[in-house]
Structure 1
């Protein structure tokens, strides 16, 4: 791992993903979490302040980027909810079938190498009555923006931790074994290729 990936990129991601409008988008989704929570791609822990301690009993946060964990640990230390943060991807956690009440995924699906198997594993880990809560940027509806997203993604990925700008988030979640309950789509303020956001909730297909 080079200096950029180890020292520079984690702070850049923390800053970019912690801007006002992005935090507002997180704040609309994360407080809906209940019970035992698995957060996918916890990163630097930017979602932690939005969990409702009266509704959430515990949180396991996973992220393969171990260099982000120090930032997450600082935020976790301020929480009243029991939190375990693990440097691992979705396939490496030791969790039984249908364990979690809620799975939270924000600004993460863009950088998972193979998203459909990862979503299938999330569905396995979720209780039958559980919910996937998501807030993800992805493919825009406007043809001109789509073209730019597809042009920019090969250049953007190496600079942004593997982030894809052009993923159809709703289609991926459905293909990964979920049925959408609620879906909101909008541009956040900022460059349009990077700012089209899908947010909502889904249940796993039974």
Structure 2
């Protein structure tokens, strides 16, 4: 990836994910996880303090070794045992039907083949398992959506492949999930960057 991708982007991601405006979203989504959990794009481990006592095992997949190293430090600080998998969510190295919850927080924006990744998440979920998510994406406001489309080509190389304009709800449903809860709205901040999709989905 080069120096920028290997060192600058992980630092930027860690800083962005520390934003206090995201805490309540993070708390609600992560606390709903239970059993054996797979976290997609575990990053530097900001979600780890929010997993509840009903979680028996945490596996975290992440392509950046620099972010995994930071997450290991957070796992030690929170006394969480985490199995880290370095790689892409487009090919998850787990058996089918092997996890109870898949958690993804502000990750689907940057996966190159997001459809393949969502199909993999569906594959590894047990019957009755849930996808728990909060993501930013395409806004329903046409003016904001036009800005998102215009900004995304310039934003992607600066922000680790982040797309501002992905229609998250539609993408989840197109890959064989049924959304059982979906809440949308703007978080504080510039509108092209802050339209949130928060909810739950299960394999259809």
Counterpart residue number, 1:193: 192
Any unmatched runs of 5+ in structure 2? none
Shift of residue 92 of structure 1? 4.2
Shift of residue 95 of structure 1? 1.4
- Alpha-carbon displacement from aligned partner over 1:58-93 (angstroms, at most 9, x marks no partner): 000001122211111111112344311121112444
Question: More deviation in 142-151 or 22-31?
Answer: 22-31
Correspondence 1:66-105 to 2 at 5 A: 66-105=65-104
Correspondence 1:153-172 to 2 at 5 A: 153-172=152-171
Counterpart residue number, 1:8: 8
Shift of residue 104 of structure 1? 0.2
For the Cα contact (< 8 Å) 2:115–2:175, is it kept in 1?
yes
Counterpart residue number, 2:105: 106
Quote the RMSD (CA, aligned, Å): 1.1
Aligned-partner Cα distance in 2 for 1:89–1:175 = 20
- Alpha-carbon displacement from aligned partner over 1:183-205 (angstroms, at most 9, x marks no partner): 01010100100000000100111
Distance of aligned partners of 1:112 and 1:119 in 2 relative to their CA distance in 1, 3 Å threshold:
same
How many residues are matched?
204
Q: Give the structure-2-normalised TM-score.
A: 0.96
Counterpart residue number, 2:181: 182
Any unmatched runs of 5+ in structure 1? none
Say yes or no: does 1:144 pair with 2:143: yes
Counterpart residue number, 1:48: 48
